[in-house]
């Protein structure tokens, strides 16, 4: 190899190494750019998912409030019914007594007592 060939080979090597380094830098930049795009895409997807979850939470919160309202209404109505029942019971403590007594008398009147020996109560005396 003469001096001229050696210097041209050296310059080709320098050109190749600078070309390699520029390609490497370019690929490195593209990789960084691609990584950034992936991150941005992930952030966008996560933002959409967060918005969707927020809507679901809002919907469930509304359902929960509706159920609480129904429960409160039911509890209030139950308390009103119990109060009305208690007040009615105080006003007519023996309301059913008369109807029960009438039924008992009616049954006794329909029983045939002919031929039954009357029972006599005797007072026990202490001797």
Task: Indicate the number of domains in the chain.
Answer: 1
Domain assignment of residue 14, given as a range: 3-105
Question: Does residue 126 fall inside a structural domain?
Answer: no
Residue 88 lies in a domain: yes
d(CA 45, CA 32): 20
pLDDT in tens, 74-113: 999 999 998 888 888 777 655 555 555 555 556 555 555 5
Q: Does 112 reside within a domain?
A: no
pTM for the whole structure? 0.40
Mean local confidence (pLDDT), 12-25: 77
Q: String of b and e for 47-77 (b: at least 16 CB within 10 Å)?
A: eeeeeeeeeeeeeeeeeeeeeeeeeeeeeee
Q: Has residue 122 been placed in a domain?
A: no
Answer whether residue 77 is part of any domain: yes
Q: Identify whether 67 is part of a domain.
A: yes
43: alpha, beta or left? (left if phi > 0; alpha if psi -120 to 50): alpha
Distance CA 10, CA 40 (A): 44
């Amino acid at each position: 190899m003469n001096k001229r060939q050696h210097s041209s080979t050296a310059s080709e090597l320098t050109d190749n190494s600078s070309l390699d380094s520029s390609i490497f830098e370019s690929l490195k930049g593209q990789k960084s750019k691609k990584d950034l795009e992936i991150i941005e895409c992930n952030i966008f997807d996560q933002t959409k998912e967060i918005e969707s979850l927020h809507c679901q939470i809002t919907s469930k919160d509304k359902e929960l409030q509706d159920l609480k309202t129904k429960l409160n209404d039911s509890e209030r109505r139950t308390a009103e019914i119990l109060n009305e029942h208690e007040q009615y019971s105080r006003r007519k403590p023996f309301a059913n007594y008369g109807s029960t007594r009438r039924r008992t008398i009616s049954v006794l009147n329909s029983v045939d007592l002919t031929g039954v020996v009357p029972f006599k109560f005797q007072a026990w005396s202490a001797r």
